[in-house]
Amino acid sequence: MRELPKLKNPKNIVMRFAPSPSGPLHLGHAYILNLNSEYCRNYKGKLIIRIEDTNPENIDKDAYEMIPKDANWATKNNVDKVYIQSDRLEIYYDYAKKIINLGKAYVCTCDNEVFKRLISEKKPCPCRNLPPKENAERFQKMFSFYKQGEAVLRIKTDLENPNPAMRDWPAMRINETPHPRTGKKYRVWPLMNFSVVVDDHEMKVTHTIRAKDHMDNEKRQKYVADYFKWEMPENIYVGRINFIGMPLSTSETRKGIEEGKYDGWEDIRLPFLRALKKRGYQPEAFINYALDVGITKTDKKTTEEEFFKIINHFNKEVIEPTSKRYFFIENPKKVKIKDAPKLTAKLPSHPDYPKLGTRTIKTTDEFYIQDELEKDKAYRFMHLFNFKDNKFISKEYDKELKAKLIHWLPISGDVNIEVHMPNGSIKKGLAEEGVKDVKNGEIIQFERFAFVRRIDKNVFYYLHK
């Protein structure tokens, strides 16, 4: 596991993870969330979750509850505080008025195409040089007089900047779309770069971890910070992880849920944290993955198979020592073993972890098996006896027999179960009677099959091999 690079000025660390509430958290969120969290854990700092919802469109109202729960689970309860930007509109308004009074921002009422032409020519629009008092009056008109699209608050920057997108960028605009939390109470909303720089200052954020495509946003935000003489956080940039073939779009997934394609955000086929938690993945797996990738600006592509190979390895390290083993047989076939003794078999719940105890199964001469038996070939029922051509040979393990090891179930006492698979299919079969004692939410291992998590009664979710 890689060690995270040391932070500069590691005192009173405050970091933030700032998703939009378009849905719950998914695999892509887990990487940066846990980098932030582990830095805060290492330096005894504070991790803030800041829900950035100043765009009233594409908001899932349930996300306000789902995001903090997902984040707390994924970080092992390392979240210190949760902020919601739509609760903070008056704060943004106050700073907007202050920056207008400083003469560093203006309300632009130019036609958008005219503004674009002027700015591309490095020329100021007619609104730029209006006195602060008039801009303050214009700003007040944004709350009642101007219509949507007629007025934008802009931050004054360097018109000679070689990047046109840096020149006089927009800080606030009118959006009359009803907000899921505040309804029509507000119509003037900050854009991301303005709300972020204000919040980072107000919340005393010391360090951030951001995708490297936010580098230009840091330059935009620095104008505001410099005007107010604020110290910017140390911004650490990382490359994006592109998850190939995995449906990470919250809007598309929500549409699929509404259309009945998916059975909610916990559908076993989805790469969202709450679905993976339901399957039995542990937060340590995602934490270790984030640390394994580490801080790197190199973009990374990973297929579903490649990603889960790593995650499953980390997850197995966590669950193996506590997962009891049971027999499960898909498509069971009945077989009778001649001369088989009646036994009370005492089987280890896990051969490598004696503390998990034992389980007892009573047998006769009839069994359920999954394997196809070949003539003249020796077999050994796991923890039971050896046989050949459906005839008992011996109880003790005998390496000279070169017997193939297979699992089994007695004819009586078995439990019908179903295992829900990641592709949405369902495997049905029989499990040993002791499965009845497995509690909801408990992770066990079906021998020679996979780790599974009990969901309800005889329903299990597939986890991984």
Q: Which of 247-251, 321-325, 344-348 has the lowest mean pLDDT?
A: 247-251
Could you report the per-residue pLDDT of 151-161, keeping only the tens digit for each? 999 999 999 99
CATH number assigned to the domain comprising residue 426: 2.40.240.10
Same domain flag for 271 and 228:
yes
Q: Which of helix, strand or coil describes residue 424? A: coil
Instruction: Supply the pLDDT for residue 1.
Output: 62
Beta bridge partners of 426: 420
Same domain flag for 215 and 184:
no
Please report whether residue 7 resides in a domain: no
DSSP-derived secondary structure for 142-192: TTTTSPTTS-EEEE---TT-SSGGGTT-EEEEE--SPBTTTBTS--EEE-H
Beta bridge partners of 415: 431
Q: Give 9's pLDDT tier (boundaries 50, 70, 90).
A: confident
Same domain flag for 209 and 131:
no
Total domains, the chain: 3
Query: Max alpha carbon distance in the chain (Å)?
Result: 103
Share of the chain above pLDDT 70, in %: 100
454, containing H or E segment:
strand 450-456
Same domain flag for 41 and 111:
no
Please report whether residue 8 resides in a domain: no
Instruction: Supply the pLDDT for residue 245.
Output: 87
Same domain flag for 294 and 230:
yes
Could you report the per-residue pLDDT of 205-227, keeping only the tens digit for each? 999 999 998 999 999 999 999 99
Q: How many helices (H) and strands (E) does the chain have?
A: 11, 27
pTM given for the model:
0.93
Residue 167: which domain range?
89-190
Same domain flag for 49 and 68:
yes
Same domain flag for 453 and 329:
yes
Where a domain ends, among 316, 351, 381? Answer: 316
Could you report the per-residue pLDDT of 225-264, keeping only the tens digit for each? 999 999 999 999 999 999 998 889 999 999 999 999 999 9
Same domain flag for 208 and 84:
yes
Same domain flag for 60 and 141:
no
Please report whether residue 4 resides in a domain: no
Please report whether residue 38 resides in a domain: yes
Could you report the per-residue pLDDT of 424-456, keeping only the tens digit for each? 999 999 999 999 999 999 999 999 999 999 999
In contact, 139 and 107? CB cutoff 8 Å: yes
Where a domain ends, among 316, 348, 365? Answer: 316
Same domain flag for 131 and 186:
yes
Same domain flag for 201 and 310:
yes
Rg for the chain, CA atoms, rounded? 30
Same domain flag for 381 and 369:
yes
Instruction: Supply the pLDDT for residue 183.
Output: 96
